[in-house]
């Protein structure tokens, strides 16, 4: 299977994130991608498909923020990475925001995703890796892999969060639609709910979003991913959330994924995009499921047996010594 990655994706390296009332080391480190490239025995450089496919999903003001916020932060006399501290929870007014702190709150979901001067470039090439893997599938490959790092599924049209800036699965889904696919399905099997992907396609019936994830009653992102969220308007019924309790093992995860695959089969996609996170692994440092390395091949075989062309995009997974083997197990299942 072809795999895509650009070394410029390594440049984004925030030092810390805010968690449980204090600063901790940033979990989404460049070494994650290096471990995966090593396990794959290398990756192809993506083709530059340009910014239009990004702007087909993301708000222009948000993209400008990603590009310019680090310089504004420095101009305000700050050291370190851009991070918000005040959010427009109650009064989200349509006023022109100029202060860097107002912008950082307006365009973010949490304080766990600082921006550096290199973030835009890394996120841009992460999106290009997804678009290049999509091109491989469009050219006839049964499956292709995009080593998207930074990841994407927590990023909405106009906000970053959860270590994500550009929603690579959504960008690829929209690009597939724009290239003529009638229906696109996204299966999200990262440990966390993909709130950004859900938000982007919430009111649309042409892109189906199904997610198996840790119950947001106990886990990030808390405000999304509950079973009663099914989409709205034209999108009603095109969102499916299957939350599971902490400590979940293969049998229950596989059954939930089968429920998602059945729903996707009824939808009838031209192409399936899998948001894959290895943070469901039993030893993940920030997550609480109990999947074993060999389980990923089982899950992948279940997905592959449906027969749709599949684009796999990388999301989370933070146990660096196991990351390569977990990803290799999953891809081998195809």
Q: How far, in whole angstroms, is CA 176 from its chain's centroid?
A: 17
Whole-angstrom Cα Rg for the chain: 18
| Pairwise CA distance, residues 82 & 70, whole Å | 6
Binding residues for Zn ion (CB under 5 A): 190-192, 277, 279, 316
Active site residue 49: no
Q: Does 220 bind ligand Q9C (CB under 6 A)?
A: yes
Options 19, 72, 78, 183; binder of ligand Q9C; rule CB under 6 A: 19
10 Å CB burial of residue 42 (0-12, 13-18, 19+) is exposed
User: Is residue 199 near ligand Q9C by the rule CB under 6 A?
Assistant: no
* Residue 21 vs 41, nearer CB to ligand Q9C: 21
Closest CA to 137 of 249, 266, 270: 270
Q: Residue 95 class from Cβ within 10 Å (0-12 exposed, 13-18 middle, 19+ buried)?
A: exposed
101 sits in which H/E element: helix 100-106
CB of 242 to ligand Q9C, least distance (A): 17
Chosen residue from 315, 322, 327, 331 binding ligand Q9C by CB under 6 A: 315
14 binds ligand Q9C (CB under 6 A): no
163 touching ligand Q9C, by CB under 6 A: yes
286 binds, among Zn ion, ligand Q9C, none (CB under 5 to 8 A by kind): ligand Q9C
- Please, which residues bridge with residue 212 across strands? 242
Query: Would you call 192 helix, strand, or coil by DSSP?
Result: coil
Q: Is 27 a residue that touches ligand Q9C (CB under 6 A)?
A: yes
Count of residues that interact with ligand Q9C, criterion CB under 6 A: 18
How many CB atoms sit inside 10 A of residue 44's CB?
17
- By CB under 6 A, residue 188 contacts ligand Q9C: no
Nearer to Zn ion, 136 or 187 (CB): 187
**Least spacing, CB of residue 98 vs ligand Q9C, in Å:** 29
**What angle, 0 to 180 degrees and rounded to 10, lies between the N-to-C axes of helices 320-332 and 30-40?**
40
Which string of x and - marks every residue 126-155 that binds ligand Q9C (by CB under 6 A)?
-------------------------x--x-
For residue 20, how far is the Cα from the chain centroid?
23
Closest distance of CB 193 from ligand Q9C, Å? 10
Q: Is 203 in the site for ligand Q9C (CB under 6 A)?
A: no
Whole-number Å distance between alpha carbons of 76 and 64: 18
Q: Is 289 in the site for ligand Q9C (CB under 6 A)?
A: no
Closest distance to ligand Q9C from the beta carbon of 76 (Å): 26
Q: What angle do CA 13, 17, 194 make, to 5 degrees?
A: 90
19 binds, among Zn ion, ligand Q9C, none (CB under 5 to 8 A by kind): ligand Q9C
CB-closest chain residue to ligand Q9C: 316
Residues 246-275 that bind ligand Q9C (CB under 6 A): none
16 secondary structure, DSSP code:
E
Nearest to 228 by CA among 183, 257, 185, 198: 198
CB of 277 to Zn ion, least distance (A): 4
Residue tagged active-site, from 154, 165, 193, 213: 154
Query: Which alpha helices (H) appear in 213-272, and where do they start and end?
Result: 250-267
Just list the catalytic residues.
154
Interface contacts to ligand Q9C, rule CB under 6 A = 17, 19, 24, 27, 112, 151, 154, 162-164, 190, 192, 220, 277, 279, 286, 315-316
């Amino acid at each position: 299977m072809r795999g895509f990655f650009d070394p410029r994706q390594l440049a984004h390296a925030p030092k810390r994130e805010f968690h449980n009332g204090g600063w901790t080391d940033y979990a989404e480190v460049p070494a994650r991608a290096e471990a995966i490239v090593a396990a794959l025995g290398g990756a192809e450089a993506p083709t530059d498909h340009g910014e239009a496919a990004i702007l087909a999903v993301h708000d222009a003001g948000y993209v400008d923020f990603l590009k310019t916020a680090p310089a504004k932060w420095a101009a305000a006399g700050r050291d370190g990475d851009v991070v918000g501290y005040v959010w427009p929870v109650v009064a989200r007014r349509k006023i022109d925001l100029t202060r860097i702190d107002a912008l950082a709150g307006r365009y973010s979901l949490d304080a766990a995703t600082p921006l550096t001067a290199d973030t835009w470039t890394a996120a841009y090439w992460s999106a290009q890796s997804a678009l290049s893997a999509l091109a491989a599938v469009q050219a006839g490959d049964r499956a292709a892999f995009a080593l998207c790092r930074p990841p994407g599924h927590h990023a909405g049209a106009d906000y970053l969060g959860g270590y994500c800036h550009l929603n690579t699965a959504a960008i690829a889904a929209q690009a597939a639609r724009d290239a003529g696919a009638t229906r696109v399905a996204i299966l999200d099997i990262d440990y966390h709910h993909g709130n950004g992907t859900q938000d982007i396609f919430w009111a649309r019936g042409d892109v189906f979003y199904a997610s198996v994830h840790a119950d947001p009653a106990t886990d990030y992102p808390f405000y999304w991913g509950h079973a009663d969220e099914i989409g709205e308007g034209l999108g009603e019924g095109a969102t499916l959330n299957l939350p599971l309790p902490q400590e979940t093992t293969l049998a229950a995860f596989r059954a939930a994924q089968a429920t998602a695959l059945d729903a996707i089969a009824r939808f009838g996609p031209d192409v399936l995009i899998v948001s894959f996170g290895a943070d469901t692994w039993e030893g993940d440092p920030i997550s609480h499921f109990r999947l074993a390395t060999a389980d990923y091949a089982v899950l992948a075989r279940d997905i592959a047996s449906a027969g749709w062309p599949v684009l796999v995009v990388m999301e989370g997974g933070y146990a660096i010594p196991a990351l390569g083997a977990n990803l290799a197990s999953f891809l081998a299942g195809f």
